[in-house]
Structures are given as C-alpha cells and as structure tokens.
Amino acid sequence: MKEIRNFSIIAHIDHGKSTLADRMIQLCGEISDREFKNQLLDSMDIERERGITIKSQTICLPYKARNGKVYSLNLVDTPGHVDFSYEVSRALSSCEGALLLIDAAQGIEAQTLANLYLAMENDLDIIPVINKIDLPSAEPERVALQIEDDLGMDPETIQLCSAKTGQGVEDILEAIVNFLPAPVGDPNGELQALIFDANYDSFRGTIISCRIINGKIRAGDTIIFMSNNAEYRVEEVGLFKFRREAQKELSAGQVGYILAGVKTVSDTRPGDTITLKDQPCAEALPGFKEVQQVVFSSIYPITTDDYAGLATALEKLQLNDAALIFQKDSSAALGFGFRCGFLGLLHLEVIQERLEREFDIPLILTVPSVKYNFFLNDGTELIVDNPAYFPDPIKIQRVEEPYIKATILIPERYMGAIMTLCMERRGENTKYHYPMPGRIEFSCELPLAEVIYDFYDKLKSITQGYGSFDYELYDYRKSDLVKLDILVNGELVDALSQLVHRKNARSRGLHACEQLKKEIPRQMFKIAIQAAIGGTIVGRTTISALRKDVTAKCYGGDISRKRKLLEKQKAGKKRMKTVGNVEIPQKAFLSVLKSEQ
C-alpha cells in the first residue's frame, strides 16, 4: 500500500489536464506508440469532437521512481467545465492527492478556484502545477505569485511543466511519489468499497468503478450493495490499465473495477458502499452530496416507437452520469417523453448527444427551464420546472425564482461590458476586487434563468474568451413570471413554451421567433411563427414558402451520386419533428435560448 498513489488532475477548462495525462501515460510506458493518440483518456467521440473532457477517467500506471521503487499510480483525468464539477467531486473521493494545473499564460481562472475548494473539502494534498510554459506568452513567475498570494499555497511546492513538450513531467511524477500520501486503510478489515462511477456493458453487466477503503475483494466473493441489500457474486475484479486488466484481488487503497453480472441497472448507485455478505462492515461510507440539478427540459423521441428504448437508454446513461435525473412526461405536440434535470446547458447537450450516439435514438429537447416556487392564493405552494404546469395567473399570489451567486474573472478592460451584461440580466449586489494586477474578480447575484439563457456564450464573446465564470445556487427571490407560448401556423407548440420574466417577455418572444425563423427550413407553404402571452401576440415572423426544390442537372449514368444526395436529404428529415404539417428540426427547440452567433 505504501507504493500506491491515487491522485486527480484538476484545473480550469483547457488548462491541459488531458494532455498532461497523455505524457504521464507515455512516460510510464503503459501503451505502445501505435495505440497512442492525443488526449487518450477522452475516449468518447463527443469529447474528441469538442476537445473537452466530459467524463472523469481513471488509469493505473506503473512508475519506476528515482528511488528505485515501482509505484502504482492511479491517475484520474477530470473535466474542467463548470457543468461537470460533479464528475470532479466523485473522482476526488477516490484520491488522496490532486495536481492543480494552471495555464502559464491564462493564470488562475474561475474553475481553478472552484476545483481547488472541492479538493480541499475532500482533504486532499495538492501539488500546484504551472503548465504550458512552452508558450511564448507564458508568464510562470506571475502565475507563481498568484498561486502564493491568491491561493495561499507554498511556492516551494510549485511544479513547472509543458504537457505539450513533456518538459518537467518526470519531476511531477517524482513529486507525486514523494509529496502525496499513500492511501491508508486496513486490508484485513471488513470490506468497504466506495462506488464512485459505473458503466453498463451489454455483455458483462454493470462495470462498477470503486475505491477500496478497507478490506479485500476477489472473484467468487458474495457482495451486497448497502443501499438496497442487492446481492451478487463477484465474477472479476481488476484495474483500469489502458484496457481493463483482471487481478486476483483488490485490496484497501486500490482503485479498480468489479464485475458481478449486475444486469439490474438501478442496483448500482454511485456513492453506495459495497461490502461482503459474510463479513459485512458496520456502516456504509458517507457517500456523495446530493447534486442540485438546475436546468430542466423534456426529452422526446422523434419517433414515438422509440419511447421504450429511450427509457432504458436513460437508465443506462444515468449509471454513467449520476447527475442526470428523469421522470415521465408528456406533451400534446410530442407525445410521451421524460422530464430531465441537468447541471447546466452543456450537460444537457451532452446527454442529448450521448443518447443519440450511444443508443441511436433521435430526440427532441424542449426549451430548458429552471425551477420556480409558486405560492397560490389558496395557500398552496407549487414547485414548477415545466411551463406546462404554469398555474392559472389569477390564482398566483406570488412566485419566486432561483438566484445564483456568480463569480466572474476577467481582465480589467472588460469590466464595463461585463457590468452592462449583468445589469441586463437583472443582476444585483455587484462586488468586485482585484486579486492580481490587471484582473478583476467580479461577483454578482443573478437570476439563474438569465444565466441559462446564453449568458456563458455572451460572456465568452464579450471577453474574447478571456472571461471565466463559476456559480453557486444562492437563494429564491420574488419574481414576476409569464408564460410565453409559440404558435407555428396557428398551432401552439407546447414544447417551445417558456416561463420568462414579464419585463423580458416581449424581447424573448421576438428572439424566439427570429431564432425559429433561422432554424426552420423553408417548406412548400408559408409558415407563420407567433409568440404569445396569454392569448396576446407579442411577436411574429413568417418563413416564406419554398418555391422549388428540384435538381435539374445531368448526372449521366452516375445514378448513385444522385441517390446519395437524396439519401442525405432524407437523413436530415429524420432529425425533424412534424408538428401539424410543419417540420421542425431538432436544433430549433434549443435555439430559442441561444443568442445569435
């Protein structure tokens, strides 16, 4: 156990976590050059396409240190985006230490701080690492000062590296071995294994990722899940090498996987404790903090036949993404579906894409909403996160909406623009200070609903990418809400309804009309799009009728080419939902919340 180190790499988005992981994997010789590719641990297509990490990913590396001993390093690469901080916190629960990566050119950003706090909550030892020192714009000395002054960390412990060139990476491995603690725990005690992640495999059942806190586990053992007493026989245990690698046993301090033929998806719950049936431990581990879903949207299959498939898909996906919640829902326009809760808009998009890619179900997501508290005249209290359940306005005594406290880090020159943005978004109680010369930390209380509405995109574009942002839920405050409906050719499309502040209703309505006009392709007839509040039209646009769609080109004998073009057109149609007789593309449903690009 003395030769084990469990650590996470944490940082703000894009500061180079996955690239550093690559270098470590290569240094430890865990993988042949032929199999290697950049950001190796970003194994999902969607991660590779977007160039960001979405899932925490564990890999166990053998490292021969300068002191001659061989260590078993368990590295966890984590995501940097604010929507996936739940991934980070679960990953941290399997570790004793963390590398806090900071981009030498960008310096400390909002998620640098947020992730540092997470690591501190988990009592981890932290090694600060300044990355990207190869960049011409790198300012390692300045960043080192920030680390000392702003984070209050010992400058002696700072490591410098370039994850790109590999410079300094070996020194980091040495620091991990020398400064991070080995796990503690009793290999001979009763088994306590913390489930921190899981994945469903159609052949082997659930692949349970766990950290063994105490005791040992091996194939043949009978285990129970402490939350529901479900009982299984262990088929295989092992480590996450480049591929899964079976081991004779896992014992205290190790991070690995358990296969026990678990086909009932709901039996495995991240945060739960696994113990042995014959020698159970006295009590379960504390598990994880409940996550707070902040954005809600309904998911409908484009083809109604896919409903049952969607239900199973959501269940399996939830196993791998514990932050997702869902329950049944239905819509006049879209049929049966599920109301889901997400950690943010990016989380929502990722779930949509994963459902489509991993389970091959084309979907429609309705306009996202936050959770409101309605207090009715008759004294009842109603929580509403779905515009469909907006109460009759005359019965409403008052309504409250969630506010967040936002922390925004920006270069000083953008201060004015950010201030304006926050004011437009009904921000209150703005404060700011200068954590370091030239940079401002700006904090502000904002309605959450204003933040999910393209706030992050705006912030990015206003600051040309130099602004970063973090937030936490703060409180509920009185609000004045109306329900904004969208009519397409006179037909109300419930999936496009949203709850908005009365003050913004008109402009949101117009915005929605404009966005839909952009997203809905012209059809053989004219389409009228109207925004309405309680029967009053507040905005309208029309999409003119398409006048022709016919290819008058000579293809000679190359019939396949013509056919393939038509097949492409057909595939595009599959991603559309027909409402009335208008075909609305999938993208249109979310577009009403986005700013024009």
Partner 1 sequence: MQINTVGPGCLAGQLPNLNRCGTVTHDEGDRNCYNTIKRIACYEISLDKLMSCLYIHIPFCLQKCAYCSFVSFGGREELFGRYVATLCREAEQTAARAAHTPLSTLFFGGGTPSLLPAASISKIIDCCHDLLGFTSGIEISLEANPGTIDYAKLAELRRAGVNRLSIGVQSFDDHELHRLGRAHNGEQALTTVRHARKAGFDNLSLDLMSGLPGQSADAWRRNLEQALALNPEHLSCYQLTIEEDTPFGRLQNQGLLELPHEDAIVAMDEITHTLCPAAGLERYEISNFARPGQECRHNLNYWHNRPYLALGAGAVSYDTKRRQRRLSDPQRYCELMESGDSIVIDEENLGTEASFRETIIMGLRLIQGVSINELQHRFHLNPGSYYGETLDRLISRNLLIIEQDRLRLTPHGLTFANRVMAELV
Ligand X SMILES: Nc1nc2c(ncn2[C@@H]2O[C@H](COP(=O)(O)OP(=O)(O)OP(=O)(O)O)[C@@H](O)[C@H]2O)c(=O)[nH]1
Annotated binding site for GTP: 14-19, 131-134
18 interacts with Mg ion by CB under 5 A:
yes
- CB of 208 within 8 A of CB of 260? yes
Residues 52 to 71 in contact with Mg ion, rule: CB under 5 A: 53
With CA atoms as reference, report the closest residue to 278 among 236, 208, 220. 220
Considering only the stretches 6-14, 64-72, 337-345, 547-555, report the one whose residues sit in contact with partner 1 under the rule CB under 8 A.
547-555
Annotated binding residues, written as ranges, equal: 14-19, 131-134
- Chain positions 75 to 114 lying near ligand X, rule: CB under 6 A, are 79-80
User: Which residues neighbour 220 within 8 Å (Cβ) at sequence distance 6 or greater?
Assistant: 233, 234
- Burial string for 517-555 (b: 16+ CB within 10 Å, else e) reads bebbeebeeebebbbbbeeeebbebebeeeeeeeeeeee
Count, residues near Mg ion per rule CB under 5 A: 3
Binder of residue 15, out of ligand X, partner 1, Mg ion, none (CB less than 5 to 8 A by kind)? ligand X
User: At closest approach, how far in Å is the CB of 80 from Mg ion?
Assistant: 6
Query: Which phi and psi (to 5°) does residue 149 adopt?
Result: -75, -45
127-135, 140-148, 216-224, 415-423 -> range binding ligand X (CB under 6 A): 127-135
H helices of 10-64, in order, are 17-27, 45-50
Does the footprint of partner 1 cover residue 566 (CB under 8 A)?
yes
- Check binding of 15 to ligand X (CB under 6 A): yes
Distance CA 453, CA 441 (A): 22
- Select from 12-20, 216-224, 500-508, 555-563 the region that touches Mg ion (CB under 5 A): 12-20
Q: How far is the CB of 133 from ligand X (least distance, A)?
A: 7
Residue 277 burial by CB count (10 A; 0-12/13-18/19+): exposed, middle or buried? middle
Rounded-to-integer distance, Cα 389 and Cα 380, Å: 14
Residue 100 host element (H or E): strand 97-103
Stretch that binds ligand X, among 9-17, 64-72, 325-333, 586-594 (CB under 6 A): 9-17
Binds 134: which of Mg ion, ligand X, partner 1, none (CB < 5-8 Å by kind): ligand X
Please, are residues 197 and 274 in contact by the beta-carbon 8 Å criterion? no
In the chain, how long is the greatest CA-to-CA distance?
Answer: 79
Determine the Cα–Cα distance for residues 554 and 567; give it in Å rounded to an integer.
18
Give the integer Cα–Cα distance in Å for 393 and 101. 50
Residue 162: name its binding partner from Mg ion, ligand X, partner 1, none (Cβ under 5 to 8 Å by kind).
ligand X
Q: At its nearest, how many Å lie between ligand X and the CB of residue 52? A: 3
Compare residues 53 and 591 and give the one whose CB is closer to Mg ion: 53
Q: Residue 265: which residues within 8 A CB-CB, separation 6 or more?
A: 200, 206, 315, 316, 318, 319
Minimal distance in Å, beta carbon 548 to partner 1?
4
Q: Does 570 contact partner 1 by CB under 8 A?
A: yes
| 51-39-314 Cα angle (round to 5) | 65
> Should residue 554 be labelled a site residue for partner 1 when binding is judged by CB under 8 A?
yes
The interface partner of residue 19, options being partner 1, Mg ion, ligand X, none and the CB cut-off 5 to 8 Å by kind, is ligand X
Asked whether 258 and 244 are in contact (CB, 8 A), the reply is no
d(CA 184, CA 190): 14
- In angstroms, rounded to a whole number, what is the distance separating the alpha carbons of residues 80 and 75? 16
Measured from the CB atom, the residue of 156 and 549 that comes closer to partner 1 is 549
Among 13, 102, 259, 516, binds ligand X (CB under 6 A): 13
Name which of residues 45 to 74 contact ligand X (CB under 6 A). 51-53
Q: DSSP 3-state assignment of 444?
A: strand
Q: Enter the tokens of residue 336.
A: 């049966």
**Residues 6 or more apart from 246 whose CB is under 8 A from it?**
236, 237, 238
Among the residue ranges 101-109, 336-344, 384-392, 540-548, the one whose residues contact partner 1 (CB under 8 A): 540-548
392 binds, among partner 1, ligand X, Mg ion, none (CB under 5 to 8 A by kind): none
Which residue of 120, 308, 332, 524 would you call a contact of partner 1, by CB under 8 A? 524
Which of 5, 12, 17, 577: binder of Mg ion (CB under 5 A)? 17
With CB under 8 A as the contact rule, the residue among 68, 152, 220, 557 that binds partner 1 is 557
Residues belonging to the chain? 597
Out of ligand X, Mg ion, partner 1, none, what residue 405 binds, judged by CB under 5 to 8 A for its kind, is none
C-alpha closest to that of 159 among 100, 79, 72: 100
Residues 157-176 that bind ligand X (CB under 6 A): 162-164
Q: How many CB atoms lie under 10 A from the CB of residue 387?
A: 22
Does position 567 bind partner 1 by CB under 8 A?
Answer: yes
Taking alpha carbons only, the member of 561, 584, 562 closest to residue 573 is 584
Q: Of 7-15, 202-210, 307-315, 575-583, which part binds ligand X (CB under 6 A)?
A: 7-15
Residue 549 touching partner 1 (CB under 8 A): yes
* Residue 435 · residue 468 · CB < 8 Å: no
| Least distance in angstroms from the C-beta of 323 to Mg ion | 18
548 lies in the site for partner 1, by CB under 8 A? yes
The reply to whether 305 sits near partner 1 by the rule CB under 8 A is: no
Nearer to ligand X, 12 or 371 (CB): 12
Stretch that binds ligand X, among 10-18, 359-367, 385-393, 467-475 (CB under 6 A): 10-18
Q: For 202-249, where are the alpha helices, taking DSSP H only?
A: none
**Of Mg ion, ligand X, partner 1, none, which one does residue 13 interact with (CB within 5 to 8 Å by kind)?**
ligand X
- The contact set with ligand X (CB under 6 A) reads 11, 13-19, 39, 51-53, 79-80, 131-132, 134-135, 162-164
The footprint of partner 1 (CB under 8 A) covers: 524, 546-554, 556-560, 562-563, 566-567, 569-570, 573
